Amino acid sequence: MTTAQTSQLTPAALPPSVFTLPQTAQLEALYTIIRDKTTSRGDFLFYSDRIIRLLVEEGLNHLPVVPKTIETPTGSVYEGVGFEGKICGVSILRAGEAMEAGLREVCRSVRIGKILIQRDEETAQPKLFYCKFPEDIAQRYVLLLDPMLATGGSAIKAVEILKEQGVPEERIIFINLIAAPEGLRRFCSKFPALRVVITGWIDKGLNEKAFIIPGLGDFGERRYCE
């Protein structure tokens, strides 16, 4: 039985706004590599970047398009489509920065915003410490980037901040590598109008310390520290 089959959320039980990458043997092999505690930092970077690229491509599939007519070098007319409106990526620091390169690889000259959210030691609630966005972010479609969705606290706070900046909920697409069922349910119930959540893999759940199980450990530590 594969990891996908042991997940607590089957495709039929997913909230309607949640989409996962096709759970192929190749994808599971990539996740097996990055989950392995003995995987070198170089291999962790390489294989997690492969997954991030797949996630970004899937996220772009959910952007609206409009009809577009062009002429080919043969002089023929082609009835195609083009993306509707501008996009930007917003990474939740620091781990979310790891997903920026994957977005830039498929979207030339894409604008990037950043949000730093940390736990307030007094209230135990997520607190905004820093944010920087394109001036016209309210007119863009936003790809919100964060590798891990555990309790959902940071992602929920990030969406609240984006909405305060004038970004409509339905223009936000949240992209992450691994999600816990608890975090998915909480996030989706909080933002029912949010267009879509793209996740690579849904794990079994959270342990008593709110760590994703089986998970892969601290994504930022494994990516940025030797």
pTM: 0.88
- Asked, for residue 2, whether it belongs to a domain, the answer is no
Place of tokens 């089986």: 214
- Asked, for residue 3, whether it belongs to a domain, the answer is no
For 19, residues 6+ apart whose C-beta sits below 8 A from its C-beta are: 58, 62, 196, 197, 198, 199
Q: At 155, phi and psi to the nearest 5? A: -65, -40
How many domains does the structure of the chain reveal? 1
Residue 207: give its domain's CATH number.
3.40.50.2020
> Which residue range is the domain that position 197 belongs to?
13-224
- Asked, for residue 132, whether it belongs to a domain, the answer is yes
- Asked, for residue 99, whether it belongs to a domain, the answer is yes
- Asked, for residue 190, whether it belongs to a domain, the answer is yes
pLDDT tens digit sequence for 132-152: 999 999 999 999 999 999 999
- pLDDT above 50 for 3: no
- Asked, for residue 7, whether it belongs to a domain, the answer is no
Task: Tell me the DSSP string of 6-54.
Answer: HSSS-GGGS-TTEEE----HHHHHHHHHHH-TT--HHHHHHHHHHHHHH
- Asked, for residue 6, whether it belongs to a domain, the answer is no
Q: What is the pLDDT of residue 123?
A: 65
How much is the average pLDDT of 79-84? 92
- Asked, for residue 4, whether it belongs to a domain, the answer is no
Q: What is the pLDDT of residue 99?
A: 92
Least confidently predicted of 26-35, 49-58, 93-102: 93-102
